[in-house]
Amino acid sequence: MSTEDGLLPVVRMWTDGACKGNPGPGGWGAWLRAGEHERELFGGEAQTTNNRMELTAVIEGLRALNTRCAVTLHVDSSYVMNGMKSWLPGWKRNGWRTAAKKPVKNEDLWRALDEQVARHDVQWVWVKGHSGDEGNEHADALANRGVESLRD
C-alpha cells in the first residue's frame, strides 16, 4: 500500500448508486484501489432512492478502511458533493435542519457519512457520470450488481 508522505495509506475510491425507479430497488458500489491492491464492494436495498444509494456507497467504502487513510474519493453525485462541500456544516449548526427549517432528508445517512469522513483525510473529486471515467464506470457496474443481487 502506498503512503502519502510516509504517514497515511493512500486510497483512491470511486462510488456510485443506482435505482430502478425512484423510489424502487436500488444498489450501491464502491471500488477501492491502494497501490497494487483493489477491492470491490456492492449491495442493494429493495425499496430506496438513488440519493440514499449514492450516500450508502460512500459510507460503505469508507467504512471498509480499517485504518486512517488519505482517500481521494471520486463521486458523480452532485447531491453528495454539495452536501459534503456546502450544506453539511449548516445542517449541523441548525440541528439537522435545512436553511428553510425543514428536517434534512436522509439525515441518518448524512450522520453516518460525517462520522466516516472524520476517520480519514478525504479529498473530494466530482466526475461526470457515464462519461468514460474508468473508475466511475466500474463503480456504476458494481452498483448495478447490487441491484441484481436483490434477485438472488
Q: Per-residue pLDDT for 5 more than 80?
A: no
Give the chain's mean pLDDT.
Answer: 94
C-alpha cell at position 100: 428553510
What's the pLDDT at 129?
86
Q: Per-residue pLDDT for 89 more than 70?
A: yes
Q: Per-residue pLDDT for 33 more than 90?
A: yes
What CATH number should be reported for the domain holding residue 111?
A: 3.30.420.10
In the chain, the percentage of residues whose pLDDT exceeds 70 is: 95
Domain housing 14: 3-151
Contact call for residues 32 and 83 (beta carbons, < 8 A): no
Q: Which residues of 81-101 are buried (b: 16+ CB within 10 A; e: fewer)?
A: bebbeeebeebeeeeeeeeee
Q: Which residues are catalytic?
A: 16-17, 54, 76, 130, 140
Give the pLDDT band of residue 151 (cuts 50, 70, 90): confident
Q: How far is CA 79 from the centre of its chain?
A: 11
Q: Quick one: which H or E segment has residue 18?
A: strand 8-19
Q: Convert the pLDDT of each residue in 41-72 to its tens digit.
A: 999 999 999 999 999 999 999 999 999 999 99
What's the pLDDT at 2?
55
Written as one letter, the residue type at 127 is V
Q: How many domains does the chain have?
A: 1
Q: Helix, strand or coil for residue 110?
A: helix
Spatial CA neighbour of 26 closest among 134, 133, 146: 146
- Supply the pTM of this predicted model: 0.94
Q: What are phi and psi of 130, to 5 degrees?
A: 55, 40
What's the pLDDT at 52?
98
What's the pLDDT at 130?
83
Higher per-residue pLDDT: 22 or 6:
22
Average pLDDT over every residue of 89-111: 96
Q: Per-residue pLDDT for 107 more than 80?
A: yes
DSSP string computed for 32-73? EEETTEEEEEEEEEEEE-HHHHHHHHHHHHHHT-SS--EEEE
Average pLDDT over every residue of 30-41: 97
Other beta carbons within 10 angstroms of residue 148's beta carbon come to: 15
Contact call for residues 148 and 96 (beta carbons, < 8 A): no
